[in-house]
Structure 1
Amino acid sequence: MSEAIPDSRVPRLAIGCRVRTLSADEAMLLVPEGALRLKGAASEIISLIDGHRSVDAIASLLQEKHASSEAPRIAIEVKQFIEKLHARSVLLYKD
């Protein structure tokens, strides 16, 4: 199995975007065009985006919290989710 490429980029919310926590496992991501309801893993990931943690650090925190057998899948899902939000200009990477 090949090793994952390290990702030290630090995501942050774009200007005009903010998170409203609805419950322990649900959040609302408010964006200029509307809102995205985030549940489960998506809510967990967005709650860890603080402009200081890298993509890898976010994945590591979630891997520690969940079953170790899921670690590779968690890392992939974190990166894919963050990239989707970046593609929609909801997240930017800190310089």
Structure 2
Amino acid sequence: MADPNCIHMKPEDFEHLSRVLTAVGEDMQTGWNRHRAAIEASESRIGRDPLGSAFRREYGPARESVLALADPLPGRWLTQGKNGTDAVALYFLAQQDATGCFPR
């Protein structure tokens, strides 16, 4: 039975999941870039008259809140995917180093 205090990895599964995270991050980045551009294009049509100015006062803080949350999300998925891929590579290096310590 495996020691629950030790780290055990199924590298092939972990590598696959890391690639999935990266792919999701890439898709999310592409989609968000497209939607963000559409939002910005639509904002240019908000008038400068009293009605448009009143709308902007209400819209502005909500806009900034959404962008502050949404802008970094794709990068976080991409970072997690890269970290997973790096962890698998380090796992294999550590395994190679450890097995190299035993005489053949």
Normalised TM-score (structure 1): 0.31
Using CA pairs under 8 Å that are at least 6 residues apart, name the structure with larger relative contact order, 1 or 2: 2
* The structure with more strand, counted as a fraction of residues: 1
Larger Cα Rg: Structure 1 or Structure 2? 2
Q: Which has the higher helix share?
A: 2
TM-score by length of 2: 0.29
